Amino acid sequence: MAQPLSLKIGPSGVRGIVGESLTPQLVTSFAAAFGTYCGAGPILIGTDTRPSGEMVKQAAIAGLLSVGCTPVDVGVVPVPALMFHVRAVGAFGAISVSGSHGSPEWNALRFIDSDGLALRVNQAAELTDLYHQGVYPRVGALEMSDVRADMTSTARHLEAVTRAVDVERIRGKAFAVAIDPKGGAAALPARQLLESLGCRVVAVPQVDRARAFTGAEPDEADLAALSALVRTSGADLGFAQDVDGDRLSIVDEHGTALDMDAAVVLVVQRWLDRRTGPVVVNVATSRMVDDVAARRGCPVHRSRVGEAYVIEAMKEHGAEVGGEGNGGAVVAPVNPCRDSFVAMAVILESMAVSGHTLGGLFGQAPRYAMVRERLVCSARDIAPSLRLIRNAFRGERMDLTDGVKVMWPDRWLLARPSATEPVIRLAAEAPAESQARSLVHGLLELLSPGA
């Protein structure tokens, strides 16, 4: 029996459960709508390693061809490489077939514009309108294009990443790096990148690539195997990418898993040392970024949560570096999207140039503790709940960019509606975990007293 509500058509694309809601019919029509939106030109299509990838890809190819586009099959690729390749070859757009961190029964289409970025909210709305109208300008048999294959995207992306850092300095250190490839699209290119940077790579053993694919989100709990490997192998650090390759978790030389925000903090730190300038992070990102930037005299701007918002704000403020606290660091001059490959290279460069260990580098910024909670909340109760918070903290410094963020000199509190679920996400950051926890508990008490 199909789960109700397993299909999600929204600004971030189309997500559904294979065999239930993500049917080939739906994918074909959405691809035809996207082809209509982009115009009759080359459209890249890449997948992750899920067993359903081929089914979804073929359906998308059929839809794209039917409206005169030329689908370019780029094979299994990490998302940042796909985004990079869109600009590199001047494609009209791209479709990423990836369930990202969803469990293996999920898969999704993410639509990427000709600028190599995910469709912005208003663009996604136009695409959804085209889909709902359901009338696509089909081409006749004689105007139909053919499928092309292009397996160069990963290599070109890695080349650009290595060009952006001081390869010789990194190679000179011959770092030992532990990785947890998780069987995703990022697994193979990660090893290639690290080896090209002269690193000795040890990997958490993988079972059968496609079937054992867990699709787990790289949170701290998920890093146990990697932490153990760092300790036993004596590696200088451990990296774990999410299956898409856009986000990065880090384990230091002691085998300690760092906060999810570590990637963006370390990348901002290094990039500002190379060149000062404004920084953009989302409202939920650790204030460690503010401390790192302040020490270098650089302003930090905050955007709504979501890659597209961060990138837009980076453009607006002329920021080269930024990202999101969930492990997604952005270095715009190299690849203007969340890119864990860029992050790995920049962090290794930082260690090589400074001579610090990873723990030493991360220890340079004051540490805070972050506490996160989710509160299930029906859609119609979200706005009143947020209003309640604003009233409760009247007079405090507030940022209303995304939900309600209340700020004090050394701590903050955030309540914002989720873009994908009927949930309010709560977060607080303070010098001590107990302080952060009490801020979040205060909010929970306010919103659902007695719960």
Query: How near is the Cβ of 141 to other proteins at its closest, in Å?
Result: 4
58 in contact with other proteins (CB under 8 A): yes
Q: 10, 19, 318, 366: which one contacts other proteins (CB under 8 A)?
A: 19
Residue 97 in contact with other proteins, rule: CB under 8 A: no
- The two structure tokens encoding residue 317: 């403020």
Least separation in angstroms between residue 47's CB and other proteins is 12
CB of 116 to other proteins, least distance (A): 25
- State yes or no: residue 24 binds other proteins (CB under 8 A): yes
Q: Is 286 in the site for other proteins (CB under 8 A)?
A: no
Name which of 66 and 340 has its Cβ closer to other proteins. Answer: 66
Using the rule CB under 8 A, is 25 a contact of other proteins?
Answer: yes
Nearer to other proteins, 50 or 302 (CB): 50
Determine the Cα–Cα distance for residues 182 and 209; give it in Å rounded to an integer.
8
Q: Which of 14, 15, 16, 28 binds other proteins (CB under 8 A)?
A: 28
Cβ at position 387, least distance to other proteins in Å = 41
Span near other proteins by CB under 8 A; candidates 104-112, 348-356, 395-403, 405-413:
104-112
**Residue 159, strand partner residues:** none
SS (H, E, C) the chain: CCCCCCCEEECCEEEEEECCCECHHHHHHHHHHHHHHHCCCEEEEEECCCCCHHHHHHHHHHHHHHCCCEEEEEEECCHHHHHHHHHHHCCCEEEEECCCCCCCCEEEEEEECCCCCECCHHHHHHHHHHHHHCCCCCCCCCCCCCCEECCCHHHHHHHHHHHCCCHHHHHHHCCEEEECCCCCCCHHHHHHHHHHCCCEEEECCCCCCCCCCCCCCCCHHHHHHHHHHHHHHCCCEEEEECCCCCCEEEECCCCCECCCCHHHHHHHHHHHHHCCCCEEEECCCCCHHHHHHHHCCCCEEEECCCHHHHHHHHHHHCCCEEEECCCEEEECCCECCCCHHHHHHHHHHHHHHHCCCHHHHHCCCCCCEEEEEEEECCHHHHHHHHHHHHHHCCCCEEECCCCEEEEECCEEEEEEECCCCCEEEEEEEECCHHHHHHHHHHHHHHHCCCC
**With binding defined as CB under 8 A, does residue 147 bind other proteins?**
yes
Q: Does 54 bind other proteins (CB under 8 A)?
A: yes
Which of 5, 142, 207, 451 binds other proteins (CB under 8 A)? It is 142
Positive/negative CA dihedral, 184, 189, 193, 196:
positive
40 scored as a contact of other proteins (CB under 8 A): no
Count of residues touching other proteins (by CB under 8 A): 38
When binding is defined by CB under 8 A, the residue of 40, 89, 121, 139 that contacts other proteins is 139
Write down the least CB distance from residue 284 to other proteins, Å. Answer: 31
Taking CB under 8 A as the binding criterion, the range among 19-27, 181-189, 234-242, 365-373 that sits at the site for other proteins is 19-27
Report in angstroms how near the CB of residue 377 gets to other proteins at its nearest.
30
Q: Residue 160 interacts with other proteins (CB under 8 A)?
A: no
105 sits near other proteins (criterion: CB under 8 A): yes
Q: Based on the shown chain and the rule CB under 8 A, indicate whether residue 451 belongs to the binding site for other proteins.
A: no
Nearer to other proteins, 156 or 209 (CB): 209
Is 149 a binder of other proteins (CB under 8 A)? Answer: no
Q: Which residue number, 134 or 297, has a Cβ lying nearer to other proteins?
A: 134
Q: Summarize as ranges the residues that interact with other proteins (CB under 8 A).
A: 17-20, 23-25, 27-29, 32, 50-52, 54-59, 61-63, 65-66, 104-105, 107, 138-142, 144-147, 211
